[in-house]
Amino acid sequence: MAIRGLEKGKKPALLISECQKGVIGPGLSVFEGLVSEAAEREIVPRIDSLAKAFREAGYPVVHLHVVHKPGYPDLPVTNVILANSTRHGRMVIGSVDVEPVDELRPSGNDIIHARSFSLVGFHGTELDATLRHMGVDTLVLAGVSTNVAISGTALCGSDLGYQVVVAEDCTAGSDAKTHEFICKNLLPLYSTVSDSSTISDTLGALES
CA distances (Å), origin 66, targets 105, 117, 154, 180 = 15, 7, 17, 25
18 HSE (CA, 13 A, CB side): 31
Secondary element (H or E) of residue 167: strand 163-172
* Cross-strand partners of 115: 66
Residue 130's pLDDT band, with cuts at 50, 70 and 90, is very high
Quick check: 106 and 132 in contact, CB under 8 A? Answer: no
- CA 170, CA 166: separation in Å to the nearest integer? 8
**Cross-sheet strand order for the sheet of 192-194:** 111-115, 61-66, 12-17, 138-144, 163-172, 192-194
Q: Select 12-203's CATH number: 3.40.50.850, 3.40.50.2300, 3.10.290.10, 3.40.50.1970.
A: 3.40.50.850
pLDDT in tens, 11-48: 999 999 999 999 999 999 989 999 999 999 999 999 99
Name the pLDDT band for 186 (thresholds 50, 70, 90): very high
Radius of gyration of the chain (CA): 16
Domain residue ranges in the chain: 12-203
